[in-house]
Structure 1
């Protein structure tokens, strides 16, 4: 990682510190003055006020100590530098117009490849169906040709029988 810089903290680092301070403030000031005074009902008002002021000083001191400790831990572990680096990488990624397009190209390539394979499969199935249909049509044509030949032969035989039967009959008239 980079060395600690003297630049102002990045947005992520500033947000972390701001969130921590808001969280610690709400934790340390969760007790209202009324609730605090209820804890000491036997004391007179002056002593209650004195205890409350003491409580406020302790909370303020504790708040400062916790914040200092947090800052110290962030500095020792270089959290700020890490967050700044992350922020820079995120910004760099958002500025890289081709980063998302690369994934889109891969997706498009896969989609086109899948579509071509599907089309090849569809056309292969259609070709098989056409071949089967053609074979069925050939069989039908051959059957019709045979029926026509058989019909022609039958017609020839009937014609011959009719001619022969005409010879066998006496002439009309």
Structure 2
């Protein structure tokens, strides 16, 4: 299957590069765009083109194919020029160069290169929070156990005071009884005298 000829890069578009000192990121972007554009515009083979015009004669097919190639070449050049102009106007080259410089600086920065990725940070934070929750739950449990001991002691004290209170009532009754008995005995003795 014969593919259409590969279109060469436009000399005028390559000389009007958006940045005088093209960094590798912009160069890669530029090459990738032009390769993708070329692939899109040349994806139709000559045989496929002829199949699309099967009712035409071979001479007409050849003429249409040459016309098609001229349109594709012109379109390719126009799109490349527009792409280069957009890159120049939006300063894509300078921006990508700045990004490349930042990446290189980060590669040289030992602290940055030793940093964990976001997933590790999230896992560490999650584990720390789980540990903190377990610690707090343990503290709450200890507090509840302490409160229960205090309640038990309070209950024992209440029961002890009730026993003492009951005992004091018994003692009080006996004292009254003794007082009454003493009073009765002393009045009997007074009557006897």
TM above 0.5, yes or no, is yes
What is the SS of the residue equivalent to 2:62? helix
Correspondences of 1:75-90 after superposition (within 5 Å): 75-90=88-103
Q: Which structure exhibits the higher relative contact order, with contacts defined as CA atoms closer than 8 Å and separated by 6 or more residues?
A: 1
Q: Match for residue 9 of structure 1?
A: 23
What residue in structure 2 maps to residue 73 of structure 1?
86
Q: Structure 2: where are the runs of 5+ without partners?
A: 1-17, 168-193
Task: Report the alpha carbon displacement of residue 75 of structure 1 after superposing the two structures with TM.
Answer: 1.2
- The residue number in structure 2 matching 1:20 is 33
Quickly say closer, same or farther: Cα 1:132–1:15, change in 2 above 3 A. Answer: farther
CA 1:119–1:65 in 2, change beyond 3 Å: closer, same or farther? same
Distance 1:21 1:45 in 2: 32
Counterpart-to-counterpart distance in 1, 2:67 and 2:106: 52
Secondary structure of the corresponding residue to residue 74 of structure 2: helix
Q: Cα deviations across residues 13-52 of structure 1 (Å, max 9, x unaligned)?
A: 2343233223322331233322322343343323322331
In structure 1, the residue matched to 2:111 is 97
1:41 is the counterpart of 2:49: no
What does the per-residue CA deviation read over 1:108-139, in whole Å, with 9 as the maximum and x for residues that have no partner? 9x848766655544433332122123223445
Cα 1:96–1:114 shift into 2, 3 Å: farther
Tell whether 2:155 aligns with 1:136.
Answer: yes
Deviation at 1:70, TM superposition (A): 0.5
Shift of 1:73: 1.2
TM-score in terms of structure 2 length: 0.52
Give aligned pairs, total.
142
TM-fit CA distance, 1:74: 0.2
Supply the distance in 2 between the matched residues of 1:137 and 1:27 (Cα, whole angstroms).
91
